[in-house]
Amino acid sequence: MSQDDFFAELGIQRQDGADADHGPRGRRARRAEKKERRRRRRRRRWLTSVVLVVVLIAVGVVAYRALGVMRDTPSATSAAQDYEGAGEEEVVITVPEGASGRDIGALLEEADVVASAAAFVEAYKANEKSGTIQPGTYTLKTHMSAANAVATLLDPASKAEHSLTVAEGFTKNQVKERLMSVGDFTAKEVDEAYADTEAIGLPEQAGGDVEGWLAPSTYDIGEDDTATDVVAQMVSTTVANLRSAGVEEEDYQEVLTKASIVEREVSQAQYYGQVARVIDNRIADTEGETQGMLQMDSTVLYGLGRVGGIPSPEDTADASNAYNTYQHPGLPPTPIGSPGQEVIAAVLDPPEGDWLYFVTVDLTTGETLFAATLEEQEANTEKLNAYCRENQEVCQGATATATAAPDPATATPDGGS
């Protein structure tokens, strides 16, 4: 048997030549094969790493979603923890702004109103009106069923507070009426609050008078709030609004006074700036047509304790009225109401113009015309007269607005609207 046959019998293929295993060509082939194996191993390792990363990401996403579902879904055990009935002892709970059903549930569980937050969340989701629950202070009871707790929060009668709205232009007397009717305070309590300037934080610039400093807004009156507490909040809001508008402290009273007059004189915000300019021009016109007199009906009426109507010739001639700007130059002693932020902004940045007069010529739309001379004002007033001849019912029903247009044949030069 030859060597080749012998190796073939053993299943071994013999290399040709003595240098087949040890020669340069054999070594190069082995090195190439090793490199190829290393490349294949590196590719396998890279592919394995990529697959592992993808798997880990997928597992993480699934776990995150599962955790979210677990958080949003009360467990069977916690859902079963619920009281029965309408509750026992009263307890006051405050629901903060932006609180979710889960947040409210946690508050109620902590106060022992409901047996568990989970039970409340279930009842919250089951009630289609639960999304209308408002922030505020409520009177509930301990040991209430979750469903009863939700129903109580939806009942306006359960609110342990009253909401008082101060409208733009309200006088201190109008605010007083609201404090008495909505807040259930006595006239004495409100008067004492107004007078306690230190307790309510009234700035010195106000001269001890709260007029103009009771900021227009809606205020929640809590069960334990006093009239002083509520008034202090109004004054604090006014100060914050003035600071936000960039008003210097020494200018607080002047800005509020001008803004209160502007707001009372015209009903359209688009004219706020021009009326503010008229006020500035008239005050500066000490040697001209106006002699520094505002001559505005709104101030006269305020001094008479009236909000609307037309002052009579006797009223405008009465110098004993400190708010009679037909008789007293410059601004009145105090604001004549509580102005809003928009009119304050207009007073701070009025447009340029030489206007000294204005008149509302259309009582339906509120269209107002401005004039630099009395002659122009008289021409504009005639436009109102023509409007009133065609719309007698409107003019007769809006005498307060019609004060802007005194008959030029009988009235003194009037800067009012």
Domain boundaries, the chain: 1-72, 79-158, 163-244, 253-402
8 Å CB contact between 218 and 192? no
Please count the other Cβ atoms lying within 10 Å of the Cβ belonging to residue 397: 12
The CA-to-CA distance between both ends of the chain, in Å, stands at: 134
CA dist., res. 279 & res. 346, Å (int): 12
Q: What is the CATH number of domain 79-158?
A: 3.30.1490.480
Q: What is the pTM of this model?
A: 0.62
Per-residue model confidence (pLDDT) at position 36:
66
Query: The tokens of 5 are what?
Result: 């046959």
Mark out the alpha helices in 111-266 (DSSP H runs): 117-126, 146-154, 172-181, 187-195, 197-200, 227-244, 252-265
Per-residue model confidence (pLDDT) at position 403:
33
Per-residue model confidence (pLDDT) at position 309:
78
Angle at 76 between CA 73 and CA 77, to 5 degrees: 120
Amino acid (one-letter) located at 254: E
CA dist., res. 213 & res. 206, Å (int): 8
C-alpha atoms less than 13 angstroms from C-alpha of 171 in its C-beta half-sphere: 16
User: Measuring CA to CA, how many Å separate 367 from each of 23, 269, 363?
Assistant: 110, 11, 7
Per-residue model confidence (pLDDT) at position 236:
97
Mark out the alpha helices in 245-312 (DSSP H runs): 252-265, 272-284, 297-303
Buried b / exposed e across 84-121, counting CB within 10 Å, b at 16+? eeebeeebebebeeeeebeebbbbbbeebbbbbbbbbb
8 Å CB contact between 337 and 170? yes
CA dist., res. 283 & res. 375, Å (int): 20
8 Å CB contact between 357 and 280? no
Spell out, as residue ranges, where the chain has pLDDT lower than 50: 6-7, 10, 14-24, 69-79, 397-413
Distance of CA 105 to the CA centre of its chain: 26
Return the closest-CA partner of residue 148 out of 83, 224, 220: 83
